[in-house]
Structure 1
Amino acid sequence: MSSAVQLLRDQVAKELQGAVTIIVLGASGDLAKKKTYPALFGLYRNGFLPENVHIVGYARTKMDHEEYLKRVTQYIKVGVDQDKLEEFKAIASYVSGQYDDDASYQNLDKFIQESETQRGIPSGRKNRVFYMALPPSVFIPVAKGLKRNVYAKEGSNRLVVEKPFGMDSESSNHLARELGALFTENEVSHWKRCAQEKLLLNCCSEIFSKIYRIDHYLGKEMVKNVMNLRFANVLFGHAWDRTYVDNVQITFKEPFGTEGRGGYFDEFGIIRDVIQNHLLQVLTLIAMERPISTDSEAIRDEKVKVLKCIQPIAIQDTLLGQYVGADGKPGYLEDETLKNKDSLTPTFAAVVCRINNERWEGVPFILKAGKALNEAKVEVRLQFHHVAGNLYGGSARNELVIRIQPNEAVYMKFNNKQPGLSYQTIQTDLDLSYHSRYAELSIPDAYESLILDVLRNDHSNFVRDDELDRAWKIFTPLLHKIDAHDSDVHIKPYAYGSRGPKELEDFVKKYGYHRDTKADYQWPLQNVNPSANKL
């Protein structure tokens, strides 16, 4: 076992004093069975859950214990760990109830108390984590029901909330106020302070709790690697500003449409679903200044400072699109789950953020996201300026690419003399591809990583309330224009399986990006002939 792994286990054990009850609200839903429970099993299998742990599923669906276990384990990849799966099932239970009924929550609390008693958890260590794998429409009533009826009075409480965090600034602020009145951003529980002061634990009448707003992109390996890449390398640190960087693109591409999710997607659209949260979070890590430490609040302070430097996005700096059917694939308006067949909801968007500070003034950050495109890809691409007074005219620009998914990688595109007798300049790369360099290591799912952070009490990779407020201020004016079908808003059609609207190439070119289309370069390099380098 590595020392790093043992350190993480020790942090969880110390923070939760060896005991916790994890309550998954919405346990019968897709998110819980596809993401939450597989992540919890991954943590259990690798020894990251406290020894005295129990997982309680809660939802409106009435089902027996066996049906519950079958549902929440159907997406778990077991491999050779069948025995571990059986152990995991033994620490999982289910309680059904309503989301707006005190009696249901009191029944849940009774079940949890009985479990805590059976597990012999002493006073002061009855920690509870509430994971809300729920639609946003029930966030507030559920949080209120939990606070009134299921709140741990002899331990810590942690509330995990999934996106979307509202629809615009107003709804987000309303949600923040309601949840903030029940669960705090960052405080230590009163019982722990008393313990530190060597007072009796049963003197405590006030217990504080914490909110963890999950944006699962902050749990992805390559997103978590951005800070190490930037601040642990002199080479990158000095080139990371407007002096060297011409433009930055953050791209999200999915090769499939809204199949089966037309109703949900039509309410939110691609900007709310992907850009305002996932891609903007990546932008803050790329653009922020060096924090004074790796403390979670120091990191989040710098992210907020960046967001404060970004003005609301203008419609003139936006390209919107909606996919149409092609090659036998249905268009967005043909989705059977879409009720509004005249919908103008964009399924593709490219927006340009401008950061008005000393480091980034004049550098456009182009955020692109779309469904039904030509490939699956999420990446960050920093394109550098042309070499001044270039001896080798026409040589390609340098680029640093951080491939978030699939095939995690960091690679630097640079120019090199073509090997052999020729003096021609060709484009090549310095390539760190994780699947080959770290073949023996397994990269955990983002949810697994973030739930571990909740247990460790590390807020670094979660969204703070002021951060959320600033993020919505950047996008709300644009979203209101789109929602109102303003005359300035134009939705461009694009074919299913294409790169996006045909206007995309001219759009990114307008902001300085030059797409090199030379046929002599590709990443990753494939089908290399070992004898090609022999004379």
Structure 2
Amino acid sequence: MALRARPLAPRPSATPSSTTRSTPVNARGRTREARGGILARRLGSGATRDGERMPPLVGARGRVRARLGVNETFVDLGVVADGVEEEREANVRATAGEGEMLSFVVFGASGDLAKKKIYPALFALYYEGRLPKNFMIYGYARSKMTTEAFKDKIAESLTCRLDWSKQGGSDCAQKSEEFFDRCVYVAGQYDVAADFKALDAQMCEDEKHVSAVKRVFYLSIPPSIFVPVAQNAARECQCKKGDTRVIVEKPFGRDLTSSRELTAALASELSEEQTYRIDHYLGKELIENLTVMRFSNIMFQPLWNRNYIRNVQINFSEDFGTEGRGGYFDHYGIIRDIMQNHLLQILALFAMEEPASLNAEDIRDEKVKVIRCMRPIEMDNVALGQYKGRLTDGRKYPAYLDDETVPKGSLCPTFAAMALFIDNARWDGVPFLLKAGKALHKRQAEIRVQFRHAPGNLYGERQGRVEHVTNELVIRIQPDEAIYLRINNKVPGLGQRLDQTVLDLQYKSAYGQVQLPDAYERLILDVINGDKRLFIRNDELEAAWKLFTPLLDKIEQQKIAPELYPYGSRGPIGAHYLASRFNVRWGDTD
């Protein structure tokens, strides 16, 4: 379950080009060594990932090195400068051999997601020996920039979790040089077929030395251009020597109708087998561990039902607001952005029946079944909120409506809590309470399972309130991953005073300072390996939108105003009234 400080697969050996090249200098006079200085300033103090401090890309002489090997000519519409083309071909030839090649294309490569998540994940996979020996990564976007400028942009986000050099492997700087040699930037339009043909020609040239190829296209782009990009990629860039796979980022539509339209448009060019709908939350370590905990520990199996579980809470909170992204967020809101995908996926994995096997289709079959058993969501079982400004210690925290990108007078909820019910034999009558919000008092995501109190409890009078009697299992997804169980225990001494004690598995304590892989690393690796367990199937998406669309339509058609709550608070009071209707107290308010 935990990563060890050793390679889990053979690492590709360094294979420098057989051609000696002079140090290139771009139009700004920036050499490879100069770039090393820039990277050192950016990363010398250590970068962070999800709040964790990460080792920077530091070379053996105490500064960052990054071999770029490109001339100052941007790659436009697949036209490559001679020097760049020769170097890239030399790199491909140097590692060509038996086995297939991976051609990975990031559409929207100039965006934040590519910079902060996709490229760091690809580098981490390469550094840990998880990518094929033969690979190339193509960044594609409309922005006009050189390949070198693009590498400058992404370099500041690359980090090394583990230092293999201490175990006889390649150091981080050496691996970064090799990785950058396999990256190229292509400028082109998303709706021009000729640009995609040029991209295809460039990839075919790089792939000519191998007999089998796997092409992966990552659509890191706004949903408004999913269809033209997917269509052009499918029509002009389909792999002729192997498989083509397309990763689609959420949101997968805005409601049932738009989701069906998107699904139909993609299905006209791509098979379901080729389509990978990614929800990065499913790549979290504790989410993948959820099924392991459920189905490999016999102690939980007889308890995982309505007879022993009183309620289940799935909580997601962020301690920041929209931060200038209000225009995008306002079009979707917290229910579409978090609940309909992240939290519903967690709920499905938690509540599904045991699958026939760990095969992707068997797991996804059970997820679809349990979503279809969910009762229509009633407005009476929903609480909405929107954060307002707050002045604390002389610092002003802005309201949602203070965001200049948010429409004036918007009723978009930034907080939602709701009760869901699953009408099947296992969960009949058990409330599943979901809660998600922005600008709350802390950043956290967790699952809380509150068990029923012991019938005829001899010690009930000594414990007071019902929540003090209830056992509780907590699965903390982020930050500081942990699993812990609250049990009732006698306080040491002569009396009979009882208290709750925590039996806990703190990942940092149990597995040392292991650096857990980022969710994108896990999911991208699964795409490369063709493992679809953690990706969303079209019928699963359909079932999810059937559940949420009637509620969303009612909220928007009736213009239901959200309750205001202060920035940095625990959310609107309405959420507590909602929980109290089911005799439940939110566990994350401790």
Which category describes the TM-score, using the shorter chain as reference length? 0.7 to 0.9
TM-score (norm 1): 0.87
Deviations 1:320-374 (A, max 9, x none): 0000011220110011222x12000000000111100000000011110000000
What amino acid is aligned across from residue 210 of structure 2 in structure 1? I
How many angstroms apart in 2 are the aligned matches of 1:2 and 1:42? 14
The corresponding residue for 2:506 is 433
Give the CA deviation at 1:83.
Answer: 1.5
**Structure 1 residues 236-315: aligned runs within 5 Å:** 236-315=300-379
The corresponding residue for 2:112 is 30
The corresponding residue for 1:375 is 442
**Structure 1 residues 114-153: aligned runs within 5 Å:** 114-117=205-208, 120-122=209-211, 125-153=212-240
The corresponding residue for 2:531 is 458
Whether the 8 Å contact between 1:250 and 1:366 is mirrored in structure 2 is yes
Confirm or deny that 1:330 pairs with 2:398: yes
What amino acid is aligned across from residue 333 of structure 1 in structure 2? L
Give the CA deviation at 1:17.
Answer: 3.7
SS for the counterpart of 1:271 is helix
Whether the 8 Å contact between 1:396 and 1:516 is mirrored in structure 2 is no
**Alignment gaps of 5+ in structure 1:** 10-15, 187-209, 523-535
Confirm or deny that 1:479 pairs with 2:552: yes
Give the CA deviation at 1:86.
Answer: 1.1
Whether the 8 Å contact between 1:246 and 1:512 is mirrored in structure 2 is no
**Structure 1 residues 125-274: aligned runs within 5 Å:** 125-186=212-273, 210-274=274-338
The corresponding residue for 1:190 is none
**Aligned in 2, Cα 1:149/1:517: closer, same or farther, shift over 3 Å?**
closer
What amino acid is aligned across from residue 459 of structure 2 in structure 1? Y
How many angstroms apart in 2 are the aligned matches of 1:465 and 1:318? 27
Give the CA deviation at 1:509.
Answer: 1.7
Whether the 8 Å contact between 1:37 and 1:73 is mirrored in structure 2 is no
What amino acid is aligned across from residue 334 of structure 1 in structure 2? D
- Number of aligned residues: 483
Give the CA deviation at 1:517.
Answer: 10
Match 2:195 to one of 104, 128, 145: 104
Whether the 8 Å contact between 1:54 and 1:92 is mirrored in structure 2 is yes
The corresponding residue for 2:184 is 93
**Aligned in 2, Cα 1:38/1:458: closer, same or farther, shift over 3 Å?**
same
Match 1:60 to one of 120, 127, 142: 142
Deviations 1:197-247 (A, max 9, x none): xxxxxxxxxxxxx11100001000000000000000111111110000011
SS for the counterpart of 2:433 is strand
Give the CA deviation at 1:435.
Answer: 1.1
The corresponding residue for 1:341 is 408
Deviations 1:30-61 (A, max 9, x none): 11001100000010000000000000111101
**Aligned in 2, Cα 1:351/1:516: closer, same or farther, shift over 3 Å?**
closer
What amino acid is aligned across from residue 284 of structure 2 in structure 1? K
Match 2:204 to one of 113, 132, 136: 113
Confirm or deny that 1:493 pairs with 2:556: no
The corresponding residue for 1:396 is 469
Match 2:583 to one of 502, 507, 512: 512
Give the CA deviation at 1:8.
Answer: 12
**Aligned in 2, Cα 1:8/1:428: closer, same or farther, shift over 3 Å?**
farther
**Structure 1 residues 14-25: aligned runs within 5 Å:** 17-25=99-107
Whether the 8 Å contact between 2:249 and 2:279 is mirrored in structure 1 is yes
Give the CA deviation at 1:76.
Answer: 1.3
SS for the counterpart of 1:234 is coil
**Aligned in 2, Cα 1:517/1:64: closer, same or farther, shift over 3 Å?**
closer
What amino acid is aligned across from residue 137 of structure 2 in structure 1? I
The corresponding residue for 1:5 is 8
Give the CA deviation at 1:376.
Answer: 0.6
How many angstroms apart in 1 are the aligned matches of 2:293 and 2:351? 13
What amino acid is aligned across from residue 157 of structure 2 in structure 1? Y
What amino acid is aligned across from residue 457 of structure 1 in structure 2? G
Deviations 1:496-528 (A, max 9, x none): 11110022222112123135799xxx7xxxxxx
How many angstroms apart in 2 are the aligned matches of 1:511 and 1:157? 49
Whether the 8 Å contact between 1:400 and 1:413 is mirrored in structure 2 is yes
Give the CA deviation at 1:180.
Answer: 1.2
SS for the counterpart of 1:414 is strand
How many angstroms apart in 2 are the aligned matches of 1:18 and 1:62? 31
The corresponding residue for 2:85 is none
Confirm or deny that 1:385 pairs with 2:452: yes
SS for the counterpart of 1:49 is coil
Percent of aligned pairs with the same amino acid: 50
SS for the counterpart of 1:477 is helix
**Aligned in 2, Cα 1:18/1:420: closer, same or farther, shift over 3 Å?**
farther
How many angstroms apart in 2 are the aligned matches of 1:304 and 1:91? 40
The corresponding residue for 1:469 is 542
What amino acid is aligned across from residue 197 of structure 2 in structure 1? Q
Give the CA deviation at 1:154.
Answer: 1.8
Give the CA deviation at 1:182.
Answer: 1.2
SS for the counterpart of 2:458 is coil
TM-score (norm 2): 0.79
Match 2:486 to one of 408, 413, 416: 413
Give the CA deviation at 1:19.
Answer: 1.2
How many angstroms apart in 1 are the aligned matches of 2:524 and 2:196? 23
**Aligned in 2, Cα 1:3/1:254: closer, same or farther, shift over 3 Å?**
closer
How many angstroms apart in 1 are the aligned matches of 2:278 and 2:332? 18
**Aligned in 2, Cα 1:180/1:386: closer, same or farther, shift over 3 Å?**
same
Whether the 8 Å contact between 1:78 and 1:85 is mirrored in structure 2 is no
The corresponding residue for 1:201 is none
How many angstroms apart in 1 are the aligned matches of 2:387 and 2:220? 30
Deviations 1:148-197 (A, max 9, x none): 211112211000110000000000011111111211122xxxxxxxxxxx
